[in-house]
Structure 1
């Protein structure tokens, strides 16, 4: 498999411009190592682990499975129960991880410590203004989430086709495109729009190594681009999830004016975790992007990444090359 070298691959020391997103409950050692061994940038989810000590153990488990670089995602969000973010950050540094992806709130409080620990920082954003702020704070790269993405798409509803070139044009640091990517066509499109790599969550959720129940993967293969739902919009905290009985209940409750107290039980992360562990698709809400409409199989990570890169190169050399000659 030939390489597609970009500023992303050079900066982070990986073979291919493909990143696996830090999906909560799913981004564990077996998946992350499989992506890393296939030449992509795998990403552990820090807050999937119940404590900083557990995160350090998961970092060690990943390191036992791969000698390649991988990242850790540290999502900074307000919660009912305080999260010891400083301790999670310190576990990342102590573990010898050299790449971190921050997301959610402003990462300023952690950047100096990461830099002092030799850690390169990617910050995930959903708007151009937040990407510009992240660059000003000194992050090494930005991951920009279009409206198509799973999880939190922000509140501005700007799709990737507009958001990616806007961000790439405005920033001098590498931009990673996220939201709606599953194949080589998407990688070529992202590169054409100015990005240096793509990040995928839903697509990696549907791989052999993803540590989730087969029912989840089967639902993604069977799903269409219409199989997601935006919830919690009334709270200014929009989340794109797989459409199921719970998401329908939450949306109907929001329409009736139910507030956070009446919704919290239904959208709890522990209920979503049950979906992944038990295979009960309606046990809770779980993240899925519009890209599920493009997912047709459950490959191994090395097969998926090789296919994406080979397809991208074929498009660049083939159809696009032929058009350029016309």
Structure 2
């Protein structure tokens, strides 16, 4: 077992987290990851209403009795969802682990603290991680530039970001962006992280509730098959390379503004990709790590083989230095 500060703080067996993903983080996937000893996440805003979230949490509990969490991503919006009601649904359902992302977690901390909820805050820089630590989160998930979705505007890859975070944080943290196998977990631990968070890898599993065509595209794709959109708007997002994201990049690079691409990037179009398998229906997120994903196994198998591979790598590396001297 790879016991770390993160596994001890969250009460889980393995230092592997299935991060929250819009339209993907449903009960079957979260429960499968948790049942294998990792930490699965239900994505709150995938559920149309807070009442639906309560039902999804209850459904996950019929599939596993092990800890799982709920992702709550807070983003600026013209018509924001009822975040307060989603928070209340989480605590009233007895969930004790929450992944926050998108904005400063401080406005949510009082309610979560009152109900014994441990918060993992997802961010893309050391400075934001330190702010999250200061407001009392239990752990941080820090995204390198390789990640799917929003990598921030600093363009710092994990090989630099992880040890930089390790040098300054005192709370446990996990590394996100670019992880798909035991080599990545072993590397993250060596760089100072307490575990890993994976999105794209878990998208490409049996329990992932997205169209098979999307999973097959991930398997076939290389690390070169993503686009960075919204760069000129300082709101960078890494998405799959397809006809729509190519067009978005072209329009914005030519001086276009968000209104010029709004119809192309509508969330309803991305949802259609996942639900119907039409790969050019809209933009959809995936990381460069897709170049390391070659199959569509059960989520539990992913967890188990990553841990086994990481343990084997770490033990083999230790033998390079001979037998350790006896302690005491």
Q: Distance in 1 between matches of 2:80 and 2:211?
A: 30
Which residue does 2:318 correspond to in 1? 321
Which residue does 1:26 correspond to in 2? 24
Structure 2 residue 274 is matched with structure 1 residue 276: yes
Local SS of the residue matching 1:65: coil
**1:168 to partner: Cα distance:** 1.4
Q: Distance in 1 between matches of 2:233 and 2:45?
A: 22
After TM superposition, the score normalised by the length of structure 2 is 0.97
Residue by residue over 1:109-138, the C-alpha shift from the partner in whole angstroms, topping out at 9 and shown as x without a partner, is 110100101100010010110000000011
- 1:97-112 pair list within 5 angstroms: 97-112=95-110
Which residue does 1:147 correspond to in 2? 145
- 1:10-159 pair list within 5 angstroms: 10-159=8-157
Alignment root-mean-square deviation, CA: 0.9
Residue by residue over 1:169-191, the C-alpha shift from the partner in whole angstroms, topping out at 9 and shown as x without a partner, is 10110011000000000000000
Local SS of the residue matching 1:188: helix
Q: Distance in 1 between matches of 2:93 and 2:214?
A: 31
Which residue does 1:264 correspond to in 2? 262
Q: Distance in 1 between matches of 2:300 and 2:321?
A: 31
Local SS of the residue matching 2:121: strand
Deviation above 3 Å: which 4+ runs of structure 1?
none
Local SS of the residue matching 1:196: coil
Local SS of the residue matching 1:155: coil
**1:53 to partner: Cα distance:** 1.2
Structure 2 residue 212 is matched with structure 1 residue 214: yes
Q: Distance in 2 between matches of 1:204 and 1:235?
A: 29
Q: Distance in 2 between matches of 1:196 and 1:55?
A: 29
Which residue of 278, 285, 288 maps to 1:287?
Answer: 285
Q: Distance in 1 between matches of 2:249 and 2:162?
A: 29
Which residue of 250, 255, 269 maps to 1:252?
Answer: 250
Q: Distance in 1 between matches of 2:7 and 2:105?
A: 23
Q: Distance in 2 between matches of 1:7 and 1:260?
A: 42
**1:322 to partner: Cα distance:** 2.3
Which residue of 222, 225, 228 maps to 2:226?
Answer: 228
Which residue of 304, 307, 310 maps to 2:308?
Answer: 310
Q: Distance in 2 between matches of 1:286 and 1:8?
A: 30
Residue by residue over 1:171-219, the C-alpha shift from the partner in whole angstroms, topping out at 9 and shown as x without a partner, is 1100110000000000000000110010000000000110000001100
**1:324 to partner: Cα distance:** 2.0
Local SS of the residue matching 2:62: helix
Residue by residue over 1:74-120, the C-alpha shift from the partner in whole angstroms, topping out at 9 and shown as x without a partner, is 00100121221111111110111100010011111110100101100
| Count of residues paired in the alignment | 323
Which residue does 2:326 correspond to in 1? none
Which residue does 2:238 correspond to in 1? 240
